[in-house]
Structure 1
Amino acid sequence: MTAASRPVPATAPSPLDIDTLRTHLGPDADAFALDLRAECDSTNSVLIQRAPADDGRVPVVACELQTAGRGRRGRQWQAWSGASLTFSAMWRFPVGAPVPAGLSLVAGIAVATVLENAGVAGVELKWPNDIQVHGRKLGGILVELASARQVAAVVGIGLNLSLPGEASIPGRSDVTALDQVIDELPSREALLADLLRVQRSLFDTYANSGFAAFQGAWNQRNAYADLPVRLIGETDSLEGICLGVDVDGALRLQTDTGLRRVLAGDVSLRAAG
């Protein structure tokens, strides 16, 4: 049986277990303040509204079911209890660190690194916040500032582990799940531990060196490298050849009128045509 034809398990996985998660985190467990919930409106919102005190740990909220999960541009993030991994972490940066520019791109590299280490082939990054495998969306990232001084940001990540039923998602043939692209699905605790650990390492480098340290890694996984794309904004659109990202995370487009740089804003990137 191929990975793509593997059926969705008949029973949902057990709820996330904090002791198992701490075991997978090992010596890094004390670096995180873990909050695992059965249900919440949005893991990002929980952290932003609660504004945890800075005790030296990274606050983390993971939830089995989000009732008002959000993506970029106000879109709803669809997730299913037991079939997704949805979590947010609040990362604090020193004054002067390059936040938020490039942060969602570094988070994407962290997710890609964990997936690749788990044996997933064909991981791609779609600017500025989507995780794809062979052109189909596996997950997304939402970064929101959590401090007026812009030294703290909440990074929310959602990954599809399986899709619900035979119908999957009506009208969304461009969506995939981890159990369709990997031979052996890791436990959610192991996956979450790896994602937290790798993010922590990469964000430390980001705070010290900026996005330039990650430009090559992101461009190697660029889903639309050298392809025609269309950027759709609230009032206009822009077409060009996708040349990857610049040293500050801006998207580089070769248009009919010359090279254009686009910083992550309220835009959507799609294949042209």
Structure 2
Amino acid sequence: MPDSSPPRLDADALRVHLGPDADAFALDLRGECESTNSVLIDHVPADDGRVPVVACDLQLAGRGRRGRQWQAWPGASLTFSALWRFPAGAPAPAGLSLVAGIAVATTLENLGVAGVELKWPNDIQVHGRKLGGILVELASARQVAAVVGIGLNLGLPPGASIPGRSDVTALDQVIDTPPPRERLLADLLRTQRTLFDTYAIGGFAAFQGAWNQRNAYADLPVRLTGEAESVEGICLGVDADGALRLQTDTGVRRVLAGDVSLRAAG
């Protein structure tokens, strides 16, 4: 009986697409796992000079921000995490999720995707519909290291739904000919590596303009909700340290981090 399961990520094809950068990454490609972030957080690989990468065809317990589950389907998603180590004194991890968002946006734009937007602090959108998300977690208290997990919808199988969300899209809905997953993953890894090298030296200030150019809510009224309070204002974009700036009735308010959710006001 023929195997009807989706094709697995091909390590050889991935190395071909990485080209001369292949030796910079330690690749761990799995059919399934609980969470690619958890694999790297729970068992931090020894530092051999390479960037550890875990990619999975099916996450059984993928995680997003605020404890949410990341919904994915076999063969219809790209879910992966990489452990990035930074020199002592580097500004990471503050602002890292925003730079990761720029890396994803840049990769998608280079593939011909129009209307890519970034929603503070970690969502990837296309024309207002969510295409993917980013989860950054500290990997070690002894050094500047963080795991950056990225999940992208490549397709939405018939009947697929995400509880509580109707504003979702997939790569095959926003581009005529999506690339192979191996090429997309290679492009994302290379772009992250380039931008993170710059980030380690110059901090987020070097990327402030690039993020604000893609701000999904630029100059629009928004509501920022968290555990303690709800704040409404006009979204002014991000500051040089990655903080979100809101023009409220009492002046400009900065929000740097926290368990918050950003939505259009009203």
Q: TM-score range by the shorter chain?
A: over 0.9
Runs of 5+ unmatched residues, structure 1: 1-10
1:265 to 242, 254, 258: 258
Task: Tell me how large the CA RMSD over aligned residues is.
Answer: 1.1
Aligned residue for 2:56, secondary structure, equals strand
Aligned residue for 2:97, secondary structure, equals helix
Aligned residue for 2:200, secondary structure, equals helix
Q: CA deviation at 1:203?
A: 0.1
Q: CA deviation at 1:172?
A: 2.6
Percent identity between matched residues is 86
Runs of 5+ unmatched residues, structure 2: none
Q: CA deviation at 1:149?
A: 3.2
TM-score by length of 1: 0.94
Which amino acid counterpart does residue 34 of structure 2 have in structure 1? D
* Aligned pairs (5 A) from 1:130-149: 130-149=123-142
**Alpha-carbon distance between aligned partners in 1 of 2:89 and 2:247, rounded to the nearest angstrom:** 31
Which amino acid counterpart does residue 246 of structure 1 have in structure 2? D
**Alpha-carbon distance between aligned partners in 2 of 1:262 and 1:150, rounded to the nearest angstrom:** 26
Residue aligning to 1:6: none
2:249 to 230, 236, 256: 256
Residue aligning to 2:182: 189
Aligned residue for 1:138, secondary structure, equals strand
Residue aligning to 1:94: 87
Residue aligning to 2:35: 42
1:214-271 residue CA offsets vs partner (Å, 9 max, x unmatched): 0000000000000000111012111110000000000000000000110022101000
* Aligned pairs (5 A) from 1:1-273: 13-166=6-159, 168-169=161-162, 172-273=165-266
**Alpha-carbon distance between aligned partners in 2 of 1:168 and 1:68, rounded to the nearest angstrom:** 17
**Alpha-carbon distance between aligned partners in 1 of 2:212 and 2:6, rounded to the nearest angstrom:** 35
Which amino acid counterpart does residue 187 of structure 1 have in structure 2? P
1:117-175 residue CA offsets vs partner (Å, 9 max, x unmatched): 00100000000000000000000000000011350000000000001204544653200
Distance 1:95 1:170, change over 3 A: closer
1:176-212 residue CA offsets vs partner (Å, 9 max, x unmatched): 0000000101000000000000000000000000000
Which amino acid counterpart does residue 42 of structure 1 have in structure 2? S
**Alpha-carbon distance between aligned partners in 1 of 2:205 and 2:72, rounded to the nearest angstrom:** 33
Instruction: Say whether the 8 Å CA contact 2:125–2:131 is kept in structure 1.
Output: yes
Aligned residue for 2:179, secondary structure, equals coil
Instruction: Say whether the 8 Å CA contact 2:6–2:74 is kept in structure 1.
Output: no
Instruction: Say whether the 8 Å CA contact 1:145–1:153 is kept in structure 2.
Output: yes
Stretch deviating more after TM superposition (228-237 or 56-65): 228-237
Instruction: Say whether the 8 Å CA contact 2:97–2:121 is kept in structure 1.
Output: yes
Q: CA deviation at 1:80?
A: 0.6
**Alpha-carbon distance between aligned partners in 2 of 1:266 and 1:232, rounded to the nearest angstrom:** 8
Equivalent pairs, count? 263
Q: Runs in 1 of length 4+ with deviation above 4 angstroms?
A: none
